[in-house]
Amino acid sequence: MKKFPKQFLWGAAASAPQTEGAALVDGKSATTWDKWFDMHPEKFANQIGPRDTSNTYVQYLEDVQLMEDMSLNSYRTSISWARLLPDGKTLNQKAVDFYRAYFSEMNKKGIKPIVNLFHFDMPWWLMEKGGWENRESIEAFGYYAKVAFEQFGDLVQQWTTFNEPIVPAECGYLFEFHYPAVVDFKRAVQVGYNTLMAHVKAVEQFKENKHKGQIGVVLNLTPVLSKSERFEDMKAKEAADELYIKSFLDPVVLGRISPKLIALLKDNQLLPLTQEGDKERIAQATIDFLGVNYYQPKRVQAVENPSIPALMPSDLFADYDWPDKKINPYRGWEIYPKALFDIGMRIKNDYGNIPWYVSENGMGVAEEERFMNEEGIIQDDYRIEFVQDHLLELHKAIEQGSNCFGYHMWTFIDCWSWLNGYRNRYGFYRVDIEDGFKRIPKKSSFWMKEVIRNNAILKGEN
C-alpha cells in the first residue's frame, strides 16, 4: 500500500463554462465563447456550443450527492464572471443565490470547495474593449475578485485567480483555438503580462481586505524535455521553459519575472508595455499555494533556419516527436507519469517547497461507449491505469519531501471542451447529453472511491 498524507485532498476539477449550461439564463451575459459560437458554429465539434454543457446549474444537488457517494473530500470549480457581474458592475442576485447554494451544499457534504475566478471565459462586454490586451481589464478583474471574495468568502477558504493563465494568450493570440484567433507573438506577450497583473490585482484585493483562507493560482506546468544534451537543443529547451513555465511560475511564487525571460523577450523585440510600480506590486503579491495541471510533457529541439527576431515561438524551439513515447491514441497526447515526480522535485528545490496540489490530471478518450458493458457502465481500465501510474510518481515525490497536499482529476462528470465539444470524455461519470444529461458512473469512479477511502493505492490493483 502506498499511503498518502493525512487530510490529503482527493477530488476533481471542472469549470463554470464547461459544466453549468444555462449560458444566457437568469441574467448571465455573453462570453467570448457564446459570441464566437454564434459567429462560427462550424468551428465547434458537432456544432455543440457553450449553451449545451452539462447542466450543473440545474443539477448541482445531484452532482454534489454523487461527489459524496464517491467519497470526494474536495472539488475545484470556477465562478462565471459574466454570470456574477453581467455588465462588470451590477451584482446578479440569482448568480449569488446559485453559487451560495452550490458551495453550501459541498460544505454540508464534507466536500471542500476550491474556487477559481477565471477559466477562459472572458465577458463579451470586456472583449469588445480589447480583453486582456487592454489594461482596463486589470482593474475590472480586481473588482470582480473583490465582489466574489465578499459574496462567498464565508463558504470558500481556498481561492485561485486563474486557471492556466498562459492559455488565453497562447490559444487566442498564437494558435487560433480561442477567440479572437489572432496570430501575433507580441500581442500574445502583452495579453500574458496584463493577465499576470490582473492576478496581482486580485491577490492585492484578497490580502488588503484580510479575507480568511488562502489564495493561489493554477498553472499548467508542462515539463520541457530536450531531444538531446546538445547545446542547440538545450538552448531551445531553456527558451520553451522560460516562456511556458517560468513566465508565470517565477512571479507568482518568487515575486519576480525571470531575468532570462526578460532578456529573451528584449532580444526578440517582444517586451510588453508596463507601468511604473508593476515590479514592486508583483513582489508583494506572492501566492499561498499552487495548483498544478499536468497532462503531457513538451519535447523540443533546436530550430533550423529560424526567423530573427522570432515571429512565433516555433522560431525559438521546435517540437520533437520522441519515437519511444507511450501515447493515448484517442487524444494523441503522450503519457509520461514520471513528470509528476519531476514537477514535485522542481517545486521543492527551486520554489521554496511551496504547498501545491495536482489541480488537473486526466485522460480524454473518444467514443467511450465502445467500452460499455451490459449494465451500461464504461469499463475505463485505461483511465484507472493512467491515474494509478501518475499517483505512484506523485507518491514518490511526496516521500522525498515535496509539499503536495492533494490530487484532483479532470474531471468529475464529462464536460464540454471548447472547440472539441464532447468529442473526448474525461469524467468519472459519463454524461448522456441526449438523455437529459443523465449521469452514469464509470468503472474508474468505483476504483477511485476505494483509493480515497484507503487514502492509498495498491500497485497493480485495478
Catalytically active residues, by annotation: 164, 360
Tell me the three-class secondary structure of 160-218, residue by residue. Answer: EEEECCHHHHHHHHCCCCCCCCCCCHHHHHHHHHHHHHHHHHHHHHHHHCCCCCEEEEE
The 10 Å Cβ neighbour count of residue 436 is 11
Integer-rounded Cα Rg, in Å, for the chain is 21
* CA 35 – CA 134 distance, rounded (Å): 19
Give yes or no for a contact between 272 and 193, defined as CB atoms under 8 angstroms apart. yes
Give yes or no for a contact between 315 and 240, defined as CB atoms under 8 angstroms apart. no
Cα–Cα–Cα angle for 407, 160, 424, nearest 5°? 55
Give yes or no for a contact between 131 and 36, defined as CB atoms under 8 angstroms apart. no
Question: Looking at residue 380, what DSSP letter applies?
Answer: -
Cα–Cα distances in Å, from 78 out to 14, 95, 303, 315, 388? 7, 13, 38, 35, 26
Give yes or no for a contact between 188 and 173, defined as CB atoms under 8 angstroms apart. yes
Of residues 54, 93, 94, the one with CA closest to residue 77: 54
The residue written with cell numbers 494509478 in the block is 388
* CA 440 – CA 459 distance, rounded (Å): 27
Q: List phi, psi (to 5°) of 410.
A: -90, 110
Give yes or no for a contact between 191 and 133, defined as CB atoms under 8 angstroms apart. yes
